[in-house]
Each structure stands twice: as structure tokens, then as C-alpha cells.
């Protein structure tokens, strides 16, 4: 029971449509965990259930506290940040203002210092701090989305398909930064991906989702080398 | 004044003293012009046009906060304007209140009404919200007529005039102008600061990306309802001020046309810009006076036609057009100068790359 996040019999969906049919998984502090699966397997729904965006049932315990049924703005305050699919750029605000929205739940005086820290880690963002965020490239917007989520100083970072719409090289860079954040800050990461190759490279463990159920799980290197898992679920 | 609207962070324009100087000069020139207007123009222009522009500008400023910055459309702000107007008319006319004291009541009342409309608006969006607020605009004259014992109904009610104190040495119409202008300046400064603040960023984030705003911890409902309340308050204050200017109210003054005019002012001036509503108010009041009036039946058609042309030429509204033009001029002059770009221009080049 020392997991940072533990989900048991997690179900949820949209209206009458049940997408998640009872998931059990956990994430330990400091880990990078990846949830893999094809389109429609329920990856995005899983993250939405965790961050309170959709009604969910079952049990979700974060840091010893039950967070199921809580509202999204309460869950952020527990220390879970969610980078939504499509990056969630606030197009008309500048890069810096986007980062400040990320700190909206904070009242301390170190927000400016944190912004400078993320500018150091993502120099492209520093160059474009006064530019409308919507005018940046997809990769830059993904970096911004990650930096912005980190502005609330989360203990667990949820990422929804960071590779979506990005060139392979850019995707690699995004994953490298993620691994870096995980190493340097000890931020725990739960990432959902279709791009199994890259995600498994930086992950400690993985789950494979199929039609709302967990079909396989294990250490990242095991999943990557398991022929049957690869053929059946990862499609390469 | 026009440069004020370019979204430049303090960091950006402090890096560029030339641009700062231009802003200061333009602001001073516009300020001097605004102060001189009631001494240059005769009473009928000040009362009939300038003061009307100011009240519309304040109301459109409020509507812009809601529709431009927060993305909630309202075709019913004429009703809030009307509530403000009747608040002042009834308190001054029937209860002998001083004009200024009624502003606070009008503001408080319209804030509460705005919140009450904002709550159901949480469940509806886009066209549906437009329809609901349209119903609000349509209902207002009927409500006024229904309670004609208090409101004077379609006959309307006349209120004592708003007079200039002796110490000012001003004529009444000049005093009214300065009072309205002062309130407008305060309102624009407050809204500008609001938009640049934590609350403003939350309001814009809610419009641009609800999902992102929500997972970052923005309480969507709270900010939407709050924006509705503030927005209605500004419209209500504008309505109250309109009675300072013209001491007469009746049911038909605050009909659907007024609501649509305010929306047109926001869009024509430039939605989600600080000074757009002021320009929009200027255009919606002045364009009809510029049109040829030989065939009065045609003027609504000409007005509509000119709006269509304007929206085709400048989909971002008037200030969108100004912004495009100034960007173009700056790029041209940057290319021509052989001394290389100044720090500010270098920054702009990066921004547009």
C-alpha cells in the first residue's frame, strides 16, 4: 500500500457508454509508467477519470487519499497535473502567461523563479516568452504544455499522447525532456501513448490496454521484447 | 491609444524605449483631444453623440469582457443597460436621490442580475446562449410596460436634470461629458488591469481551452459566472450614466436594437481588445450620421451594408486592422534601416518568424 497512485476496479465513460471496464494499476513514486494501446482502447479516458474530468467509479487512492469523484480543480491541488491530448495550448495568451495560468492554484512568491527554471530547461520557450502561444510549432506547444503542468509543482504528471502530430525527431526530444524532468525533480510520470517504441524506452513499467481492460503489464524492457505482446497489441 | 492595444508585456516594451515614447505621446495627444472636445463642439453634438458614444463604450467594454475575452455570447446586454437606466431614473425621479449615489445601486443590482443569468448560462453555450440572452433583451420592454406604475411604461418618465456645480464654471452638457469620460477612463483602466491579472488569464484560458483550464485548476463555473456579473455591471453603470446625459427613460429605448448595437460595437471595434469597444461605440453612433440622408428609409440598409463591408475588410474589427497595418509598417521600416534592427525590432522579428 505504498504506491503513490493506486487504481482498483476503475470504470468510467461518457454518458451511457462505459469505456473503462474495471482497471487495476498502480504507479510508484519516482517511476515513469506508460499505458499503451490502440485507438479507442480507453487510454485518454483513463487519464480523464484520474483527473476528474469524467465521472468514474471504483477506487483511486493518491498519496493515501481517495480522489475518486473529486472535481478537477481539487485534484490538481492534491498534486496531480494533467497535460491533455492536443496539448491544451491557450492560444491567445503569451508563453509566459500560459505558464502563469499553470500556477493559478499557487499563492507563493516563487512563481517567477519557477518560470525561469523552465525557461532554462526549455530554452525555446524563453525565446518566445512574449509570443502568442498559438503561433508556436507543435513541438514547442508540447514543451509549453509540459512546463505549464509542472508550474503547479505536481508530484504526479499525467501526459496524454505527447507524440500526437509531432515529427519523430521532435517526439524523441519531448521524451528526452520528460526523462530529464523525472530524473532531476523526481516527478512521477504516467504517460499514455500509441508510440510504443519511444515510450517504452524511457518508461520503467508499462500496461497494455485493450477495449477498456488491461491486457498485459510488466517491466518496460520485458514488454518491448515480448514477441506476443508486441504483435498483438503494439502493432510492430 | 491605438498602440496600447498591442499585447506587449511590460518586459517587451521596456526593452524598446522608442516604442514607449510613441505610446506616451499618442496617449497624451488623445487625452488632450478628449478633454478639448466639449469646448470645440456645440451642445447637440456633445449630448447627442459624444456622450452616447461614451455610454455605449462602457457597455461594450463589459460585453467584450464576456463575449470577447470569455467566449460567452450575449445578445441581451441592452437589458442590463436598461436596468441601470431605470435604477437611476426611479431613484432620482421618485426618491430624490443624488445622481452619483444611484451608480452604486445600479452597479450592485446589475451585478446580481448578471450572476443570476450567468448561472443557467453555465449549461448552455454558443447559439443557445445567444437565444436565451436574446429572450432577455426581448422581455425587458415588456417587463417595463407590465410595471408601468413604477416605470412609467411606454409613456416613460422624465427625471430631473444632471446639473453642473457652480464651482466648475462649466455648462451642463460639458460637465456631463467630463463625468461620463471620467467613469469611462476608470472602467477601461480597471478592465485592462483585470485582463492582465490572474483572474484575466483564467477568463481567457476558459475561452481558449476549457479542458486545459480545468485541469490546471481553474474553476470554470466560478469564472464564467463572475465574468457575467462584472460584464452586466458595466452595462448597468453605462445605462445609469445614459440617464445622466438624457434625463428620460421609456420602454422602447432599451429594446433588442440596443443589445444588437452593443454586440456590433464589440465586433466592429475588435473583440478581445481593450480599446476595441470604444472604437466600436464610436462607429455605431457615427456611421449612421455619415450616411447620406436623402432617403431615410435606406439608412438602415446602408448601415448594414457598411458593416458587411467592414467585416470583410477587417474580420478582426477596426483594431485588428490597425494592428495589421502597424505590423506592416514596422516590418517595412525595419527592412529599410541599414543600421540593423534595434533590440525591440529584433524581438519582433523573432516573434513573427
Report pLDDT digits (tens) over B295-353.
778 878 888 888 888 888 888 888 888 888 888 888 887 765 544 433 333 333 333 32
- 8 Å CB contact of B212 and A89: yes
Q: Provide the domain limits for residue A31.
A: 5-234
Cα of B117 to nearest chain A Cα, Å: 24
- What is the total count of domains within chain A? 1
Q: Is A53 on the interface with B (CB under 8 A)?
A: yes
**CA dist., res. B293 & res. B163, Å (int):** 33
Residues 6+ away with beta carbon under 8 Å from B224 = B70, B72, B118, B121, B122, B206
Contact B113, B83 (CB under 8 A): yes
- 8 Å CB contact of B211 and A88: yes
- CATH code where residue A212 lies: 3.40.50.300
The closest alpha carbon to B157, from B238, B234, B91, belongs to B91
**CA dist., res. B305 & res. B315, Å (int):** 15
The b/e string for B163-175 (b: 16+ C-beta within 10 A; e otherwise) is ebeeeeebeebbb
Residues 6+ away with beta carbon under 8 Å from B137 = B75, B76, B77, B78, B79, B255, B256, B258, B259
pTM for the model: 0.88
Cα of B16 to nearest chain A Cα, Å: 14
- 8 Å CB contact of A90 and B209: yes
Contact B50, B177 (CB under 8 A): yes
- 8 Å CB contact of A82 and B215: yes
**Euclidean distance between the first and final Cα of chain B, in Å?**
26
pLDDT along chain A (236 residues), means of 10: 89 92 96 92 95 94 94 95 93 95 94 94 93 94 96 96 92 93 94 90 94 93 85 68
The domains of chain B are located at: 51-268
- Confidence grade of residue B9 (pLDDT, cut at 50, 70, 90): very low
Contacts of B216 in chain A (CB under 8 A): 76, 81, 101-102, 104-105, 148-149, 152
Cα of B49 to nearest chain A Cα, Å: 34
pLDDT of residue B253 exceeding 70, the answer is: yes
Q: Which of A76, A96, A131 lies nearest to residue B215, judging by beta carbons?
A: A76
The pLDDT of residue A234: 66
Best of B12, B216, B224 to mutate (most A CBs within 10 Å, chain A): B216
Question: How far lies B51's CA from each of B163, B246, B263, in Å?
Answer: 15, 9, 19
- Determine which of B74-88, B170-184, B277-291 has the lowest per-residue pLDDT on average: B277-291
pLDDT of residue B87 exceeding 80, the answer is: yes
Q: Is A126 on the interface with B (CB under 8 A)?
A: no
Best of B19, B210, B212, B222 to mutate (most A CBs within 10 Å, chain A): B212
The pLDDT of residue B339: 43
Amino acid at each position: 500500500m505504498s504506491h503513490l497512485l493506486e487504481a482498483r476496479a476503475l470504470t468510467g465513460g461518457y454518458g451511457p457508454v462505459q469505456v473503462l471496464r474495471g482497471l487495476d494499476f498502480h504507479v510508484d513514486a519516482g517511476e515513469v509508467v506508460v499505458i499503451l494501446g490502440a485507438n479507442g482502447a480507453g487510454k485518454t479516458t483513463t487519464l480523464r477519470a484520474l483527473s476528474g474530468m469524467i465521472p468514474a467509479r471504483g477506487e483511486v487512492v493518491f498519496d493515501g487519499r481517495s480522489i475518486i469523484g473529486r472535481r478537477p480543480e481539487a485534484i490538481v491541488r492534491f498534486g496531480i497535473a494533467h497535460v491533455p491530448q492536443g496539448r491544451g495550448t491557450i492560444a491567445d495568451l503569451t508563453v509566459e502567461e500560459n505558464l502563469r495560468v499553470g500556477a493559478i492554484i499557487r499563492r507563493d512568491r516563487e512563481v517567477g523563479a519557477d518560470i525561469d527554471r523552465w525557461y532554462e530547461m526549455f530554452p525555446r520557450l524563453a525565446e518566445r516568452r512574449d509570443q502568442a502561444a498559438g503561433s508556436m510549432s507543435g513541438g514547442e506547444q508540447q514543451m509549453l504544455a509540459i512546463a505549464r503542468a509542472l508550474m503547479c509543482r505536481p508530484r504526479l504528471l499525467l501526459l496524454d499522447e505527447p507524440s500526437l502530430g509531432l515529427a519523430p525527431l521532435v517526439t524523441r526530444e519531448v521524451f528526452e525532456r520528460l526523462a530529464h524532468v523525472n530524473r532531476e525533480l523526481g516527478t512521477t510520470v504516467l504517460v499514455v501513448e500509441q508510440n510504443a517504441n519511444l515510450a517504452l524506452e524511457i518508461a520503467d513499467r508499462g500496461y497494455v490496454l485493450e477495449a477498456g481492460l488491461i491486457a498485459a503489464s510488466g517491466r518496460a524492457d520485458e514488454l518491448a521484447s515480448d514477441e506476443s505482446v508486441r504483435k498483438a497489441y503494439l502493432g510492430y | 491609444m491605438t498602440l496600447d492595444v498591442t499585447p506587449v508585456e511590460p518586459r517587451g516594451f521596456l526593452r524598446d524605449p522608442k516604442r514607449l515614447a510613441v505610446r506616451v505621446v499618442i496617449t497624451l495627444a488623445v487625452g488632450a483631444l478628449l478633454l478639448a472636445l466639449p469646448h470645440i463642439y456645440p451642445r447637440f453634438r456633445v449630448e447627442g453623440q459624444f456622450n452616447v458614444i461614451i455610454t455605449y463604450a462602457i457597455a461594450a467594454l463589459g460585453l467584450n469582457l464576456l463575449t470577447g475575452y470569455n467566449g460567452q455570447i450575449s445578445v441581451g446586454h441592452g437589458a442590463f443597460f436598461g436596468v441601470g437606466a431605470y435604477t437611476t431614473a426611479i431613484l432620482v425621479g421618485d426618491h430624490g436621490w443624488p445622481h452619483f449615489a444611484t451608480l452604486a445601486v445600479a452597479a450592485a443590482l446589475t451585478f446580481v442580475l448578471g450572476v443570476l443569468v450567468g448561472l443557467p448560462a453555465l449549461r448552455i453555450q454558443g447559439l443557445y446562449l445567444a437565444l436565451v440572452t436574446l429572450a432577455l433583451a426581448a422581455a425587458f420592454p415588456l417587463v417595463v410596460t407590465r410595471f408601468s406604475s413604477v416605470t412609467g411604461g411606454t409613456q416613460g418618465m422624465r427625471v430631473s436634470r444632471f446639473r453642473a456645480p457652480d464651482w466648475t464654471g462649466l455648462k451642463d452638457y460639458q460637465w456631463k461629458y467630463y463625468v461620463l469620460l471620467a467613469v469611462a477612463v476608470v472602467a477601461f483602466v480597471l478592465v485592462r488591469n483585470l485582463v492582465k491579472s490572474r483572474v484575466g488569464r483564467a477568463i481567457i484560458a476558459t475561452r481558449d481551452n476549457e479542458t486545459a483550464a480545468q485541469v490546471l485548476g481553474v474553476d470554470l463555473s466560478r469564472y464564467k459566472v463572475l465574468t457575467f456579473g462584472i460584464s452586466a455591471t458595466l452595462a448597468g453603470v453605462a445605462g445609469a450614466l445614459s440617464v445622466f446625459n438624457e434625463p428620460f427613460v421609456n420602454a422602447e429605448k432599451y429594446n433588442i436594437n440596443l443589445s444588437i448595437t452593443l454586440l456590433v460595437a464589440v465586433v466592429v471595434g475588435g473583440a478581445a481588445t481593450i480599446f476595441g469597444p470604444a472604437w466600436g461605440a464610436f462607429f455605431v453612433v457615427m456611421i449612421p450620421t455619415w450616411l447620406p440622408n436623402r432617403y431615410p428609409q435606406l439608412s438602415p440598409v446602408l448601415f448594414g451594408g457598411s458593416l458587411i463591408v467592414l467585416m470583410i475588410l477587417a474580420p478582426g474589427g477596426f483594431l485588428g486592422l490597425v494592428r495589421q497595418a502597424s505590423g506592416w509598417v514596422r516590418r517595412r521600416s525595419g527592412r529599410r534601416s541599414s543600421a540593423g534592427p534595434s533590440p525591440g525590432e529584433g524581438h519582433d522579428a523573432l516573434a513573427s518568424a
